[in-house]
Chains A and B, each alone.
Chain A
Amino acid sequence: MAEQEVLNKEEERKPQAKMVPVFIMGQKYEVPEGSTILNAIEYAGYQLKKGVGCREGFCGACATVYRLPGDYKLRGGLACQTVVQPGMYLAQLPFTPAQKAIYDIDEVKPDITTFQKFYPEAFRCLGCNACSKVCPQELKVMDYIQAIMRGDLELAADLSFDCIMCGLCTMRCPAEMAQYNIALLARRLYGKYMMPKPEFLYKRIEDIEQGKFDKEFEEIMSLSPDELKKRYAERDINFKIT
């Protein structure tokens, strides 16, 4: 291979990222096209200590608000999951101040009165849906609050299940409630008092505690690798769970 060709190849291998302009808290930066907001912020030279966590879209730490050129809508997204767009105006929210009730889950009832007591502001919901508009998980936030307002905790638990508690809805709510903490209470109550109980699990735990399987375990532990392999190959895969 001629020297020039090698050089050309190397040139190709170099990242050829196109740069796009974004405005981070009002300041213009050129960042590589296709990067996430989080990468863009770091590329621009910020060191994030707050407002970042898992980098995988699960922890909800990186809530960001942004606008796109020519569009009045204030959008919400997770910095680690949202790809930058040219001309984006953005600011990250390091933290959402939110009211959070203190309760003993053993002492509270799974009905509407608990919410009236701990989160009376939930009942101020106007039905504006500003919360759903901004939710990065695309949850029906208004609908889960509305479900709570009529005591339907099962629906509320279901609709809010994928909430990652990023706080964006709370920052937008004209009724000034913290939807995600309210929904957390709904899911806790649903889980503790309303969800069908796994009776088989309690029975199995009891069996284990009474030593029902101790002998079998001891025997398994004493087997040689070859004997274990043999057992594995001969195992009954159509057994019934009792």
Chain B
Amino acid sequence: MTVKIPYYPGCTLKATAKNFEDTARLVAGVFDYELDDLYRWNCCGAVYGLSEDNVMHKVAPVRNLLRVKEVGEKRVLTLCSMCFNTLKRANYYVRKNKDKLEVINAIMYLENTTYDGSVEVIHLLELLRDEIGFDKVKKAVKKPLSGITVASYYGCLLLRPNEIAIDNMEQPTVMEDLMEALGASVIDLNVKTECCGAYQTVPRKDLVADRTNLIVEEARKAGADLIITSCPLCHFNLDRRQKEAKERHPDFHPMPILYFTQLMALAFGFEEEKLGFKPHYVDPRPLLKERGLL
């Protein structure tokens, strides 16, 4: 029986990271899960507001949680690490600060219901690890990814602050474990939780290009062929900024950056056209062809 799981897409997954969403749907389908888009949703807030008393910036994420409760659901799945972080932190905040939750509910008086902190925010990686299980993932593999070595890049949003982390915040392994289940070789990337430069990519391309240079070079030194991520912003920085990285560091070698769901869909035997490789700046197809995976 197919399990419909309430899904908060986020705007990036409907626009520039469509390939992440499409492959996530394919992957979930293999385990009889259907990502069920919330019938109404708004931006998650994009960046979690750090000032404790600025409730206005928490209305957007909390309103999305209210939408989940409104349709009688208890949990909501996210793919974008940024959405995950913003929603889960806002949830944590209103659970801890009932008075602020009251203020937020008062602002949202047009809604038919109030929010109470009851919804759980989960990331697809958690669903795969804790509910589906990597044993099942292993059994679903049709085309083992032997022949490629994968570096997992977490960035900050899945792990910090500790209260919302999906794994050990210093030494996460969930993505490495997942890749091993797909038959890939993995390396332990020493900079896997360091900053990609985030939104500095707009005013300070140079700075982000240097971060990209560092992360990709560390991955290469450790023997990786490609890097996986679960964040559209990390993906943008690590992939697109390779152009500037090359300009600033002549020795730089390009490396493909993929969403973990793209590699899963590949290992589960989906055709090349469904894997969404076209929008990539560094095309992963030559590498995957060379290793006999396409």
Chain A residues close to B by CB (< 8 Å): 73, 112, 125-129, 132-133, 140, 142-143, 146, 149-152, 174
Top 8 nearest A-B pairs (CB, nearest first) are A127-B60, A150-B11, A146-B42, A150-B14, A127-B42, A151-B15, A133-B110, A149-B11
Is A129 a contact of B108 with CB atoms below 8 Å?
Answer: yes
CA of A151 to CA of B17, assembled, Å: 13
Is B43 in the interface zone, CB < 8 Å from A? yes
Is B14 a contact of A126 with CB atoms below 8 Å?
Answer: no
Distance of B119 from chain A, by nearest CB (Å) = 16
Known: A126-B57, A132-B110, A133-B110. A146 touches B43 (CB 8 A): yes
CA of A41 to CA of B261, assembled, Å: 63
**Extra pairs beyond A149-B11, A150-B11, A152-B14 (20, CB < 8 Å):** A112-B15, A125-B42, A126-B59, A126-B60, A127-B42, A127-B43, A127-B45, A127-B60, A127-B63, A128-B56, A128-B107, A129-B59, A129-B63, A129-B107, A129-B108, A133-B109, A146-B43, A149-B43, A151-B11, A174-B56
Is A127 a contact of B11 with CB atoms below 8 Å?
Answer: no
Residue of chain B at shortest CB distance from A130: B107
Distance of B152 from chain A, by nearest CB (Å) = 28
Among B59, B109, B110, which residue has its beta carbon within 8 angstroms of that of A127?
Answer: B59
CA of A127 to CA of B104, assembled, Å: 12
Task: Kindly supply a per-residue 1/0 record for chain B positions 55-68, scoring 1 wherever the CB is within 8 Å of any chain A CB and 0 otherwise.
Answer: 01101100100000
CA of A149 to CA of B109, assembled, Å: 24
CA of A105 to CA of B283, assembled, Å: 35
Which residues of chain B are within 8 angstroms of A142 by Cβ–Cβ distance?
42
Is A150 a contact of B60 with CB atoms below 8 Å?
Answer: no
Using a Cβ cutoff of 8 Å, how many contacts connect chains A and B?
43
Which residues of chain A are within 8 angstroms of B45 by Cβ–Cβ distance?
127
Is A129 a contact of B43 with CB atoms below 8 Å?
Answer: no
CA of A128 to CA of B61, assembled, Å: 10
Which residues of chain B are within 8 angstroms of A152 by Cβ–Cβ distance?
14
Chain B residues close to A by CB (< 8 Å): 11, 14-15, 40-43, 45, 56-57, 59-60, 63, 107-110
Distance of B44 from chain A, by nearest CB (Å) = 9
Which residues of chain B are within 8 angstroms of A143 by Cβ–Cβ distance?
40, 42
Which residues of chain A are within 8 angstroms of B59 by Cβ–Cβ distance?
126-129
Residue of chain B at shortest CB distance from A174: B56
Distance of A149 from chain B, by nearest CB (Å) = 6
Distance of B42 from chain A, by nearest CB (Å) = 4
Residue of chain A at shortest CB distance from B108: A129
Residue of chain A at shortest CB distance from B107: A128
Distance of B280 from chain A, by nearest CB (Å) = 19
Is B14 a contact of A151 with CB atoms below 8 Å?
Answer: yes
Residue of chain B at shortest CB distance from A150: B11
CA of A143 to CA of B42, assembled, Å: 7
Among A112, A125, A132, which residue has its beta carbon within 8 angstroms of that of B43?
Answer: A125
Distance of A21 from chain B, by nearest CB (Å) = 27
CA of A149 to CA of B11, assembled, Å: 7
CA of A140 to CA of B60, assembled, Å: 15
Distance of A31 from chain B, by nearest CB (Å) = 29
Distance of A133 from chain B, by nearest CB (Å) = 5
Is B41 a contact of A146 with CB atoms below 8 Å?
Answer: yes
Residue of chain B at shortest CB distance from A129: B110
